[in-house]
Chain A
Amino acid sequence: MHNPQLNKNGELQHLLTIEGLPKSIINHILDTASSFVGISDREVKKVPLMRGKSVFNLFFENSTRTRTTFEIASKRLSADVINLNIAASSTSKGESLLDTIDNLAAMHADMFVVRHAQSGAPYLIAKHLNDTKQNHVHVVNAGDGRHAHPTQGLLDMYTIRHYKKDFTNLRVAIVGDILHSRVARSDIHALTTLGVPEVRAIGPHTLLPGGLEQMGVRVFTDMDAGLKDVDVIIMLRLQNERMSGALLPSAGEYFKSYGLTPERLALAKPDAIVMHPGPINRGVEIDSKVADGPQAVILPQVTFGIAVRMAVMSIVAGSHS
Chain B
Amino acid sequence: MSMNLHIKNGRVIDPANGIDAVQDLFIADGKIAALGSAPEGFTAERSFDAAGLVVAPGLVDLSARLREPGYEYKATLESEMQAAMQGGVTTLVCPPDTDPVLDEPGLVEMLKHRARKLRQAHVHPLGALTVGLKGKALTEMAELSESGCIGFAQAEEPIEDTTVLLRAMQYAKTFGYTVWLRPQDPHIGRGGVAHSGPLASRMGLAGVPVMSETIALHTIFELMRASGARVHLCRISSAAALELIRAAKKEGLPVTCDVGVHHLHMIDADIGFFDSNARLSPPLRSQRDREAIRAAVLDGTVDAVCSDHTPVDDDEKLLPFAEASPGATGLELLLALMLKWAHEQGPQTQDALARALAKITCDPARMAGLPAGSLAVGACADVVLFDPETRWTVNPAALASQGKHTPFLGYELAGQVKATVVAGRLAFER
| B204 & A1 in contact (Cβ 8 Å cutoff) | no
Is B188's beta carbon under 8 Å from chain A? Answer: no
Q: Please determine whether B319 and A96 come into contact, CB atoms closer than 8 angstroms.
A: yes
User: Which chain A residues border B196 with CB–CB below 8 Å?
Assistant: 210
The reply on A87 being an interface residue by CB < 8 A is: no
> When A90-B323, A97-B319 are in contact, do A119 and B197 touch as well, CB less than 8 Å?
no
B199–A147 touching, CB < 8 Å: no
Whether A1 contacts B273 in the complex (CB less than 8 A), given A116-B320, A210-B196, comes out as yes
Q: What CA separation (Å) do A148 and B274 show in the bound complex?
A: 13
Does A123 reach chain B (CB closer than 8 Å)?
yes
**Is B322 an interface residue when CB atoms closer than 8 A count as contact?**
yes
When C-beta atoms are compared, the residue in chain B nearest to A181 turns out to be B204
B118 at the interface (CB under 8 A from A): no
Query: Cβ of A96 and Cβ of B318 under 8 Å apart?
Result: yes
Q: What's the tally of chain A residues with a CB closer than 8 Å to chain B?
A: 29
Q: Out of A1, A4, A118, A148, which one reaches B322, CB within 8 Å?
A: A118
Q: What does the 1/0 interface line of A118-138 toward B look like (CB < 8 Å)?
A: 111101100110000000000
Decide yes or no whether B315 CB sits under 8 A from chain A: yes
Contact residues in B for A64 (Cβ distance below 8 Å): none
Is residue B117 within 8 Å, beta carbon to beta carbon, of the partner chain?
no
B201 in contact with A212 (CB, 8 Å): yes
- Residues of chain B in range 184-201 having any CB-CB distance to chain A below 8 Å: 196-201
Name the contact of B202 in the complex, choosing from A4, A19, A90, A123 (C-beta under 8 A): A19
Q: If A116-B320, A145-B322 touch, does A123 touch B274 (CB 8 Å cutoff)? A: yes
Contacts of A128 in B (CB 8 A): 318
Interface string of A202-246 (1 = CB under 8 A from B): 000000011110110000000000000000000000000000000
- Is B203's beta carbon under 8 Å from chain A? yes
Check if B320 sits within 8 Å of A124, measured CB to CB. yes
How distant is the Cα of A182 from the Cα of B204 in the complex, in angstroms?
A: 7
Tell me if B199 and A1 are in contact (CB < 8 A). no
Q: Kindly provide the distance from the CB of A158 to the nearest chain B CB, expressed in whole angstroms.
A: 23
CA distance in complex: A4, B322 (Å): 19
B203 contacts across to A, CB distance below 8 A: 119-120, 147
Q: Contacts A210-B196, A212-B201; is A119 near B321 (CB within 8 Å)?
A: yes
B198 touches A148 (CB 8 A): no
Give every chain A residue within 8 A of B197 (Cβ-Cβ): 210-211
Q: Mark A60-101, 1 if CB is under 8 A from B, else 0.
A: 000000000000000000000000000000100000111000
What residues of A have a CB within 8 angstroms of the CB of B223 in the complex?
none
Measured between beta carbons, the chain A residues less than 8 angstroms from B272 are: 1
Question: Which residues does chain B contribute within 8 Å of A185, judged by CB atoms?
Answer: 202, 204
B195 to chain A, nearest CB (A): 11
The interface centre, meaning the residue of B318, B320, B321 with most chain A CB atoms within 10 A of its CB, is: B320
Q: B205 on the interface (CB 8 Å rule)? A: yes
Q: Are A144 and B204 closer than 8 Å at their CB atoms?
A: yes
B320–A211 touching, CB < 8 Å? no
Contacts of B323 in A (CB 8 A): 90, 118
Q: What is the distance, in angstroms, from B284's C-beta to the closest C-beta of chain A?
A: 15
Q: Are A145 and B318 in contact (CB under 8 A)?
A: no
| A117, closest chain B residue (CB) | B320
* Closest chain B residue, CB of each to CB of A212: B201
When the two chains form the complex, which single residue of B199, B318, B319 contacts A211, counting CB atoms closer than 8 Å?
A: B199
Chain B's closest residue to A20 (CB) is B273
Complex Cα distance A116/B203, Å? 14
- For residue B271, give the distance in angstroms from its CB to the closest CB of chain A: 9
- With contacts A97-B320, A118-B322 taken as known, whether A211 is within 8 angstroms of B274 at the C-beta atoms is no
State which residues 143-164 of A face B: CB under 8 Å.
Answer: 144-148
For B200, the chain A residues whose CB sits under 8 A away are 211
Known contacts A119-B322, A124-B320; is A146 also within 8 Å of B204 by CB? yes
- Among A97, A118, A185, A214, the most chain B Cβ lie within 10 Å of the Cβ of A118
Query: Which listed residue (B198, B201, B207, B320) contacts A120, Cβ 8 A?
Result: B320
Q: How far is the CA of A209 from the CA of B315 in the complex (A)?
A: 31
Chain B residues, Cβ within 8 Å of A4: 273
Q: How long is the Cα–Cα vector from A98 to B317 in the complex, in angstroms? A: 11
Cα A96 to Cα B321 with chains together (Å): 14
Smallest beta-carbon distance B392→chain A, Å: 22
CB neighbors of A among B285-321 (8 A): 315, 318-321
Please state if B201 and A211 are interface contacts (CB–CB under 8 Å): yes
> For window 263-295 of chain B, which residues contact chain A by CB distance below 8 Å?
272-274, 276
Q: How far is the CA of A123 from the CA of B319 in the complex (A)?
A: 10
Give, as a whole number of angstroms, the nearest-CB distance from A123 to chain B. 5
A214–B286 Cα gap in the complex (Å)?
14
Docked pose: A1 CA to B272 CA in angstroms: 8
- Please pick, from A96, A145, A182, the residue contacting B315 in the complex, using a CB distance under 8 A: A96
Q: Closest residue to B194 on the A side, CB-wise?
A: A119
Contact in complex: A124, B198 (CB < 8 Å): no
Inside 8 A of A90's CB, which chain B residues have their CB? 323
Contacts of A119 in B (CB 8 A): 203-205, 274, 320-322
Contact call A124/B318, Cβ cutoff below 8 A: yes
B198 touches A215 (CB 8 A): yes
A residues in contact with B201, CB < 8 Å: 209-212, 215
Evaluate contact between B204 and A147: CB separation under 8 angstroms.
Answer: yes
CA distance A127 to B319 in the complex (A): 12
Report the nearest B residue to A210, measured CB to CB. B201
Q: Which residues of B contact A144 (CB under 8 A)?
A: 204, 320
| Alpha-carbon distance A182/B272, docked complex (angstroms) | 18
Do residues B273 and A123 form an inter-chain contact, with CB atoms below 8 A? yes
Bound Cα distance A239, B219 (Å): 36
- Shortest distance in angstroms between B42's beta carbon and chain A's nearest beta carbon? 55
Q: How far is the CB of B212 from chain A (nearest CB, A)?
A: 14
18 contacts between A and B (CB under 8 A): A96-B318, A97-B319, A116-B320, A118-B320, A118-B322, A119-B203, A119-B204, A119-B274, A119-B320, A120-B320, A144-B320, A145-B204, A145-B205, A148-B204, A185-B204, A210-B196, A210-B207, A215-B201
Given contact pairs A96-B319, A120-B274, A211-B198, a sample of 6 additional A-B residue pairs in the complex whose CB atoms are under 8 Å apart: A97-B320, A119-B205, A120-B273, A121-B320, A145-B320, A182-B204
- A-B interface, 3 closest residue pairs, ranked by CB to CB distance from nearest: A211-B198, A120-B274, A147-B204
Q: What is B's interface to A at a CB cutoff of 8 Å?
A: 196-205, 207, 272-274, 276, 315, 318-323
